[in-house]
Structure 1
Amino acid sequence: MTRCVIAEDESLLREALLTQLQKAWPGLEILAACDDGASALEEITAHQPDVVFLDIRMPGLNGIEIAAAMAEVSPATQIVFVTAYDQYAIEAFDKGAVDYLLKPVAYDRLVATVERLQMRAQNTDAKQSAMSAVSDLLAKLGSSSIASGGLREKEPLVWLTASSGTETKLIMIDDVAYFKADNKYTVVMTAEGEALLRKPIRELLDVLDPTMFKQIHRSTIVNFRAIASVLRDEGGKGIVKLKNRPETLSVSQPFMILFRNM
């Protein structure tokens, strides 16, 4: 049985894609349907699925970044990008012979994509050609606004307010060392100490500058400018040492791709 992971942050579109896939590909086993990039990459790393449907715009890691990481953590997985891009971007996918689905996903287009995926599963040369096309596309997009966070429609957050006991603090984003999930809230850590933000960490991913803040674990977002060094342990996981904080942060093995050039 072919195994699959879906990554789509919009719940209605995710459910619609699930329903359409169940109809178009009855033998497909859906291992996970994720609503953010971090959980998607962790599921892909854990399960090594045959196919993954990747939304390009997601909180935290976007589909392009996940695909780049998959070259190391799940290289044999076939990728289908799901996109709401304009025609210019669509042409880039077409020229690279890369599978994509345009939102909202049309059922007949999905059926055609499923047929190509099934054909490649039986044809090693065709599968290798598709993987090469994805690699070429990622190389072209590596320095583009897509891969660097140019998908954003809003200006990134500059400051925030968070609670510290009975005091409400105004904290500049540049001063944040990292954010840590705490149930429905988020702990904000600076050199001076911690404060509590009454917002889940997932919502922060939509408003932080992606060139400055990166998710290194499902529950942790770090300011890259606050990092002093990164160590890799024997299991492939990482340990981040900070410049102005004594504690260290754990990096999930899939997210070590972020530190390849450090």
Structure 2
Amino acid sequence: MKAIIVDDEINARLSLRGILEENFSHIQIVNECKDVPSAVKAIHELKPELVFLDISMPGYSGLELLKFFDESQINFKIIFVTAFSEYAINAFELSAVGYILKPVRVDALEKALQKIMNSNHDLENLKALQNNMENPLEKKVALNTGDGITFLELNDILYLKADGSYTHFYTTNRHRITIAKKISDFERLEAMGNFLRIHRSHIINLARIQKILKQDGGTVVMENGELLSISADRKTSLFEKFQNLKL
């Protein structure tokens, strides 16, 4: 598999190349680039199958790389290599894109490679990532369903309900989407929008609460009329979250 590394820091490029050459012999580094313009040129000339892409670089951000290609030209997969904040990590996870954190670890790199090699929706996932990073009020989550990936705007989610090793997403259009992941895997929604886990079985969109009832220890009424219990240890967090809620 032909690959290029795009990073403005030479030590970061050398380190990643060394890890790849030592542990992943099936990946051939055909070029190293220090910025987006040189990466665009290298991709057109060398046609790599994989691009290791830093996001924070002078001039153009790594996220702007795709703007230099027509959709028909994007025949390569991307793994983001970044030292970004937790906010960005949440964006990567929700968009279901491949990424690794600096300093790069072999196990994390192997996991990222497996993730993108098993994905058939790379362009859609990258578009979702761009949207999540550039349009904070219009964030989307990429949900791996049995027949593909569903891209769901966070504002369209009413609540999540745990069901053993599965999680049900209930939406404003009264659809239910079931994902083969535990509800704990979606707690990062709290950092990306107006979400809060109010119970071991429920994560709710605070903007979709219709009413809060004091009876039975505390209950929220969602827009679809569903009543969801509030755990005693989450009541304080619920009201604190309302203090900063952007509706």
TM-score (norm 2): 0.51
- 2:214 is matched with none
Superposition deviation, residue 27 in structure 1: 1.6
| Corresponding residue for residue 11 of structure 2 | 12
Matched, 1:134 2:136: no
> Using a 3 Å threshold, how does the CA distance of structure 1 residues 99 and 68 change in structure 2: closer, same or farther?
farther
Q: 1 CA distance for matches of 2:13 and 2:24?
A: 16
Q: Does 1:83 align with 2:73?
A: no
User: Where does residue 62 of structure 1 map in the other structure?
Assistant: 61
Contact 1:4 1:49 in 2 (8 A): yes
Contact 1:17/1:105 (<8 A) preserved = yes
Computed over aligned residues only, the root mean square deviation of the Cα atoms, in angstroms, reads 1.9
Q: Which moved more, 1:94-103 or 1:71-80?
A: 71-80
Higher RCO, 1 or 2 (CA under 8 Å, sep at least 6)? 1
Measure the CA separation in 2 of the matches of 1:77 and 1:39. 16
Deviation for aligned residue 1:12:
0.9
Change (3 A) 1:80 1:90: same
Pairwise CA distance, 1:140: 3.3
Deviations 1:71-130 (A, max 9, x none): 54731210111111111111011011011111111121012122334x43xxxxx32x23
Moved more, 62-71 or 24-33: 62-71
Task: Supply the distance in 2 between the matched residues of 1:20 and 1:13 (Cα, whole angstroms).
Answer: 11
Q: For residues 96 and 132 of structure 1, what CA distance do their matches in structure 2 show?
A: 9
Supply the distance in 2 between the matched residues of 1:6 and 1:42 (Cα, whole angstroms): 13
Deviation at 1:25, TM superposition (A): 1.6
Aligned positions of 1:88-237 closer than 5 A: 88-117=87-116, 119-120=117-118, 126-127=119-120, 129-143=121-135
Amino acid at match of 2:107: D
Q: Does the alignment pair 1:25 with 2:17?
A: no
Identical aligned pairs, as a percentage? 33
**1:143 Cα deviation (Å)?**
4.9
Distance 1:19 1:85 in 2: 22
Q: Is the 8 A contact 2:91 2:132 kept in 1?
A: no
The residue aligned with 1:74 is: 73
Q: Which amino acid in the other structure matches residue 45 of structure 1?
A: H
CA distance in 1, matches of 2:45, 2:59: 19
More helix by share: 2
- Structure 1 residue ranges without an equivalent (≥5): 121-125, 145-262
Q: How big is each residue's C-alpha offset from its partner over 1:136-181, in whole Å with a ceiling of 9 and x where there is no partner? A: 112333457xxxxxxxxxxxxxxxxxxxxxxxxxxxxxxxxxxxxx
CA distance in 2, matches of 1:42, 1:140: 27
Q: State the match for 2:238 in structure 1.
A: none
Aligned residues: 136
> Aligned residue for 1:244?
none
Q: Which residue of the partner structure matches residue 248 of structure 1?
A: none
- Structure exhibiting the larger radius of gyration computed from Cα positions: 2
Letter in 2 for 1:26: S
In structure 2, the partner of 1:44 is: 43
Letter in 1 for 2:80: F
**Unaligned runs of at least 5 residues, structure 2:** 137-247
- TM-score by length of structure 1 reads 0.48
C-alpha spacing 1:113/1:43, structure 2 compared with 1 (3 Å): same
Letter in 2 for 1:112: K
Between the aligned partners of 2:102 and 2:114, the Cα distance in structure 1 is: 19
1:7–1:67 CA distance, 2 compared to 1 (3 A):
same
Q: Distance in 2 between matches of 1:66 and 1:73?
A: 14
Task: Give per-residue Cα distances to partners, 1:222-244, cap 9 Å, x unaligned.
Answer: xxxxxxxxxxxxxxxxxxxxxxx
Which residue of structure 1 aligns with residue 207 of structure 2? none
The separation in 2 between residues aligned to 1:73 and 1:54, in whole angstroms, is 20
Judge conservation of contact 2:7–2:54 (CA < 8 Å) in 1: yes
Report SS of the residue matched to 1:138.
helix
